[in-house]
A and B are shown apart, each in its own frame.
Chain A
Amino acid sequence: MSAPERSEPLPAWSLPAGAEKNIELAVEWPAEVSREWAFGGSTGSGVRVCILDSGVEPNHPLVGPLADAVAVVRSPDGEITIEPDEEGDLCGHGTACAGIVRSLAPECELYSVRVLGAGYTGSGPILVAGLRYAIENGFDVVNMSLSTTKKDLAESLHELADLAYFQKTMLIASAHNLPVESFPWRFASVLSVGSHDRDEPLDFFYNPEPPVEFFARGVDIHVAWVQGSSLRCTGNSFATPHMTGICALVLGSHPELTPFQLKSVLYLTATNMIGSR
């Protein structure tokens, strides 16, 4: 469904009498939101997914082609720039995430933004620059299986997370199970993910006691790894691309959804929601 035609600009701060027609919703919501309505038959086609990670190995059998791959690099004088990524994956993790998303949403467009490899020192500003690049490029979903504990980055990340939320880019980030304060998963404008140990990739749970909002499959998952290899892995960082893939499916069916609406659909179709099947 396409967005409704608007004869006048949307009201910025108020809704004057008679202006209701200007905020008609683009999505016709059924009386009961089912998984079939939410993403039945979807392949993620038309959805642009960004993997913000260690890079992605292009053309891995479990990943397939990438639409584009860039690396955030730092010159010797400290300048941070975005360059075409010639090195691929420096760890294996980004390739694993891309493969999980591909397995769920086989026709989505996959993009890689590499924020690893320039050393630990200065990795915080590189993370912020990579996220800013992803938001400015208007990706529909950004997978962030990573976090930082640097408090001086929290404000920048928070601003970027809210910017993404209001311009229809869904940020999906791994929650921490360590006793430290970390970001950006704690921000309400981000969809945060922890792990469950079921085997079904489309099983996901809404957590009524945030800050962790959703639990997705994160245990003993067969994933793509570097140099065409594959292995099994466990962790919230692998649960996160499961939610990314599910979001790609929903947006493939309903591209007009805002992050607020997308979270609402996920809540209504969560495995622990009575009647979600």
Chain B
Amino acid sequence: MTGDDLRAAVAAGVLRSEEGHRELLRSIVEVARAIFHARAASIFLLDEARDELVFEAIAGEGSDSLVGTRFPSSTGIAGWVLVTRQPLVLEDVSEDPRFAKDAAEATGYVPKGLMAVPLLHEERALGVLEVLDRPARPGAALEEVELLGLFAGQAAIALDLLQAARRARAALEGSGGDLESLARLAAAIDGLEGERRSVGLEFLGTLERLLEGESRAARPPGSFRTKP
């Protein structure tokens, strides 16, 4: 395998990883919608570079064309949930003239009820999960908020992986020759046999452990360990 081949393979892996996590996010909003018998569920991702919230996945009412739509990161209901890290359950939210107008202009669909929870991973706020228009379950409000929190934990892990995959792709695309050199080195070791190959893989493993933490964001999962 040449360095170019390996680089292409790594890039393909990163791309597949991102697509896989997108599917996971879509699955999460679908399951959230199903569990709460809701009309819609959606995930917003924080774009820290532009300080905006981005529609990342949506299930049910609304439109897939909304995916990619951007909002201010600290205003409105989703912005409040993101900044304050507090979940929120609102009924009659259609009575909020500002919210109703924005929703109507975006999708033509104005929800009546809304549950929103921040997606928190370690100390970072990654985005917001919303569940829209679930049927009333008198006496179950606190239980619903707990359940929503569990979902939020799962979604936050998926979002963290998605962001890591995107950073890896960006690093690969913008690395010039740096990562390509490393890819050639990995390819050369991969082509060795017997004890020489074992020593080479051990060297890469040591290098990986040395850079653990700093390089985590720029490395696709499983790299350098294709043939343990």
Task: Mark out the residues of chain A between 59 and 111 whose CB falls within 8 Å of any chain B CB in the assembled complex.
Answer: 90-93
Evaluate contact between A220 and B95: CB separation under 8 angstroms: no
A145 at the interface (CB under 8 A from B): yes
B227 at the interface (CB under 8 A from A): no
A147 at the interface (CB under 8 A from B): yes
Evaluate contact between B74 and A119: CB separation under 8 angstroms: yes
Assess A231 versus B86: contact at CB under 8 Å? Given A91-B75, A120-B51, A120-B125.
no
Assess A116 versus B80: contact at CB under 8 Å? Given A149-B124, A178-B87.
yes
Evaluate contact between B98 and A147: CB separation under 8 angstroms: no
Contact of B145 among A93, A120, A177, A180 (CB under 8 A): A177
User: What chain A residues lie within 8 Å of B122 (beta carbons)?
Assistant: 149, 180
Known pairs A120-B74, A178-B152; list 15 more (Cβ under 8 Å).
A91-B75, A91-B77, A93-B84, A116-B79, A119-B74, A121-B48, A146-B84, A149-B122, A149-B125, A151-B123, A180-B120, A197-B139, A226-B97, A229-B97, A231-B93
| Cα–Cα distance between A197 and B138 once the two chains are bound (Å) | 10
Evaluate contact between B141 and A234: CB separation under 8 angstroms: yes
A179 at the interface (CB under 8 A from B): yes
Report the minimal beta-carbon distance from A97 to chain B, rounded to whole angstroms.
11
Evaluate contact between A177 and B83: CB separation under 8 angstroms: no
User: What chain A residues lie within 8 Å of B123 (beta carbons)?
Assistant: 149-151, 180-181
A237 at the interface (CB under 8 A from B): yes
Evaluate contact between A234 and B145: CB separation under 8 angstroms: yes
User: What chain A residues lie within 8 Å of B99 (beta carbons)?
Assistant: 92
Report the minimal beta-carbon distance from B146 to chain A, rounded to whole angstroms.
6
Evaluate contact between B98 and A227: CB separation under 8 angstroms: yes
User: What chain A residues lie within 8 Å of B152 (beta carbons)?
Assistant: 178
Q: List 30 A-B contacts (CB under 8 A).
A: A91-B76, A91-B77, A93-B80, A116-B74, A116-B75, A119-B73, A120-B46, A145-B84, A145-B86, A146-B85, A146-B86, A147-B84, A176-B85, A177-B145, A178-B117, A178-B118, A178-B120, A178-B153, A219-B142, A226-B96, A227-B96, A227-B97, A227-B98, A229-B96, A229-B97, A232-B91, A233-B88, A234-B89, A234-B91, A235-B145
| Cα–Cα distance between A250 and B31 once the two chains are bound (Å) | 46
| Cα–Cα distance between A197 and B89 once the two chains are bound (Å) | 13
Q: Residues of A with Cβ closer than 8 Å to B?
A: 54, 90-93, 116-121, 123, 145-151, 174, 176-182, 195, 197, 218-220, 225-227, 229-237
Number of A-B pairs, beta carbon distance below 8 Å: 135
Nearest residue (CB) in B for A124 is B83
User: What chain B residues lie within 8 Å of A93 (beta carbons)?
Assistant: 80, 84, 88
Report the minimal beta-carbon distance from A115 to chain B, rounded to whole angstroms.
8
Evaluate contact between A179 and B149: CB separation under 8 angstroms: yes
User: What chain B residues lie within 8 Å of A180 (beta carbons)?
Assistant: 85, 120, 122-123
Evaluate contact between B120 and A149: CB separation under 8 angstroms: yes
Q: Residues of B with Cβ closer than 8 Å to A?
A: 46, 48, 51, 72-77, 79-80, 82-93, 95-99, 117-118, 120, 122-125, 139, 141-142, 145-146, 149, 152-153
Query: Interface majority SS on B: helix, strand, loop or mixed?
Result: mixed
User: What chain A residues lie within 8 Å of B87 (beta carbons)?
Assistant: 177-178, 235-236
Report the minimal beta-carbon distance from A221 to chain B, rounded to whole angstroms.
10
Q: Which 7 A-B pairs have the closest CB atoms?
A: A146-B84, A120-B73, A234-B89, A91-B80, A231-B92, A232-B91, A119-B51
User: What chain A residues lie within 8 Å of B80 (beta carbons)?
Assistant: 54, 90-91, 93, 116
User: What chain A residues lie within 8 Å of B51 (beta carbons)?
Assistant: 119-121
| Cα–Cα distance between A97 and B64 once the two chains are bound (Å) | 35
| Cα–Cα distance between A237 and B145 once the two chains are bound (Å) | 12
Nearest residue (CB) in B for A174 is B86
Contact of A220 among B77, B85, B86, B141 (CB under 8 A): B141
Evaluate contact between A237 and B153: CB separation under 8 angstroms: no
Evaluate contact between A121 and B73: CB separation under 8 angstroms: yes
Nearest residue (CB) in A for B123 is A149
Most buried by A among B86, B87, B124, B125: B86
User: What chain A residues lie within 8 Å of B73 (beta carbons)?
Assistant: 119-121
